[in-house]
Structure 1
Amino acid sequence: MTQPVVKLRNISLGSGRPKLAVPITGKTTADILAAVDPIKMAAPDVVEWRIDFFEGVTDAKQLQQTGQWLRSALGSIALLTTFRTHGEGGALELSDADYFKVCENVLAGKFTDALDVERYHDEADVKGLVAKAHDNNVVVIMSNHDFDKTPSKKDIVGRLTSMVDFGADVAKMAVMPQSADDVLTLLTATNEARKTLSQPVITMSMGDLGKVSRLAGEVFGSCLSFATVGAASAPGQIALDHLRPELEDLKLS
């Protein structure tokens, strides 16, 4: 089976080395835009704007204006916009209805290249949001995060498979390991999903135990690794200027 590839602005997810994403977690428009220059100097492939940290996230006009300024400031770097809900490790608690409204406001602002859509909300709402994203030529990275444990290999593959069934362009799963065995479970599940799914996957085992999973994507099949320039957005993220040479050292010839 040929490896599935998804185009995201000027990059291809699913071919070659894992691409590198860094988060922006600023609370104000000024904080967000101030983060851009240091990030551009580090030259990641993707910026993930974590809008759950943004104080103006529920004000459609403020969200869209800031998003448009950010899109312009990033130049050629791809932009992934993510509202991470509180139950999945995010900074702000919103009702499901408000979560979907925020995501729709992002799409209406026409500034993002990709939208994170959490899998475990109402199925009809999730599918509706995927359709709206695709109508706007926005890539859907569908996600699920378990900050407590690592599910079984069968469960991880099942969740990733369901995301693809729901229309995800890329399926993403992040889990928390309690042991080295848990990290192996995540990597084995990633390899199986890479071999069986029709879309690329992003996986990570979080925390210090899981750091190896952030390095091993090319071998096991995770197409994107999250690094840092400044503040981290999840436990175990590695500084971009450390991660890039490590991925280069581990590349498959």
Structure 2
Amino acid sequence: MQPAIKLRNIELGSGRPKLAVPITGTTINDILAATTPILAAQPDVVEWRIDFFKDVINPEKLKSAGQQLRQALGDIALLTTFRTKGEGGELALSDTEYFKLCETVLDGGFTDALDVERYHDEQAVKQIVAAAHEHQVVVIMSNHDFDKTPAVAEIVKRLTSMVDYGADVAKMAVMPQSVVDVLTLLTATNIARQTLPQPVITMSMGDLGKVSRLAGEVFGSCLSFATVGAASAPGQIALENLRPELEDLKLN
């Protein structure tokens, strides 16, 4: 039985899949303006994609923006993510720069969860996981393949590796080229749900993969990414549509 991971006022891995929406503003004004419709929609989690923020490499401006966002969101859980260029993000950073940014986020004291990409220097990954846990911040460890869908065994291997590295939640996003690829991702999700001691988040991206964003409760993905405004990845569904669809697919 996987543990439910407490994230502010919600639990990942318990009950319905939770719903996250991204904020991708480039300025603090854009970021704070995005919170108005988000507060009205009441997602479970906001993912702040700091790779879009134009002052992301300025530690004081990043901390200030994060603290203002935290205050604006009230009780909604905040996941902070710097997505590197190689995994579909906006900015290319060295490993040293990437982990320094992660440390700045933790030092800012504003986030409930931190996205940590698995495939960086292994010792540095372990160190930032330990630092996050010292700050009582949940680690969602991730890997994104925007070109293809790896085999079932490879997806499960990567998710397992994340748990081995201390992830509280393991996340994998892949790009399907066929319906078979979507089935591959769903099969791997089901295996991971049955075999791993931590919750997982998975998705098959693009239009072909939209079904994976609906079927998390059946196959074992604990969080689905939706939109209120701008999307941060291909295939994301509007929150107002996704919420009732998840409810329709609930297991009694």
Q: State the one-letter code of the partner of 1:112.
A: T
Q: Given that residues 3 and 15 in structure 1 are in contact (C-alpha distance below 8 angstroms), is that contact kept between their aligned partners in structure 2?
A: no
Deviations 1:188-232 (A, max 9, x none): 000000000000000000000000000000000000000000000
Q: Given that residues 203 and 222 in structure 1 are in contact (C-alpha distance below 8 angstroms), is that contact kept between their aligned partners in structure 2?
A: yes
Aligned partner of residue 177 in structure 2, secondary structure = coil
Once residues 180 and 6 of structure 2 are traced to their aligned partners in structure 1, the CA distance between those partners, rounded to angstroms, is: 34
Once residues 189 and 15 of structure 2 are traced to their aligned partners in structure 1, the CA distance between those partners, rounded to angstroms, is: 16
What corresponds to 2:20 in structure 1?
A: 21
Deviations 1:29-75 (A, max 9, x none): 00000000100100000000000000010000000000000000000
Q: CA deviation at 1:96?
A: 1.1
Q: TM-score, normalised by structure 1?
A: 0.99
Aligned length: 252
What corresponds to 1:123 in structure 2?
A: 122
Aligned partner of residue 241 in structure 2, secondary structure = helix
Q: State the one-letter code of the partner of 1:3.
A: Q
Structure 1 unaligned regions, length at least 5: none
Q: Which runs of 4+ in 1 moved over 2 A?
A: none
Q: CA deviation at 1:93?
A: 1.0
What corresponds to 1:146 in structure 2?
A: 145
What corresponds to 2:82 in structure 1?
A: 83
Structure 2 unaligned regions, length at least 5: none
Aligned partner of residue 173 in structure 1, secondary structure = strand
Q: Given that residues 5 and 12 in structure 2 are in contact (C-alpha distance below 8 angstroms), is that contact kept between their aligned partners in structure 1?
A: yes
Q: Given that residues 150 and 176 in structure 1 are in contact (C-alpha distance below 8 angstroms), is that contact kept between their aligned partners in structure 2?
A: yes
Q: TM-score, normalised by structure 2?
A: 1.00
Once residues 179 and 5 of structure 1 are traced to their aligned partners in structure 2, the CA distance between those partners, rounded to angstroms, is: 33
Over aligned residues, Cα RMSD in angstroms?
0.4
Aligned partner of residue 35 in structure 1, secondary structure = helix
Once residues 102 and 28 of structure 1 are traced to their aligned partners in structure 2, the CA distance between those partners, rounded to angstroms, is: 17
Q: State the one-letter code of the partner of 2:103.
A: E
What corresponds to 2:222 in structure 1?
A: 223
Q: CA deviation at 1:94?
A: 1.1
What corresponds to 1:46 in structure 2?
A: 45
Q: CA deviation at 1:108?
A: 0.3
Deviations 1:104-156 (A, max 9, x none): 00000000000000000000000000000000000000000000000000000
Q: State the one-letter code of the partner of 1:48.
A: E
Q: State the one-letter code of the partner of 1:12.
A: E
Q: Given that residues 64 and 105 in structure 1 are in contact (C-alpha distance below 8 angstroms), is that contact kept between their aligned partners in structure 2?
A: yes
Once residues 15 and 139 of structure 1 are traced to their aligned partners in structure 2, the CA distance between those partners, rounded to angstroms, is: 16
Q: CA deviation at 1:3?
A: 3.1
Q: State the one-letter code of the partner of 2:215.
A: A
Aligned partner of residue 150 in structure 1, secondary structure = coil
Q: Given that residues 21 and 48 in structure 1 are in contact (C-alpha distance below 8 angstroms), is that contact kept between their aligned partners in structure 2?
A: yes
Q: Given that residues 2 and 196 in structure 2 are in contact (C-alpha distance below 8 angstroms), is that contact kept between their aligned partners in structure 1?
A: no
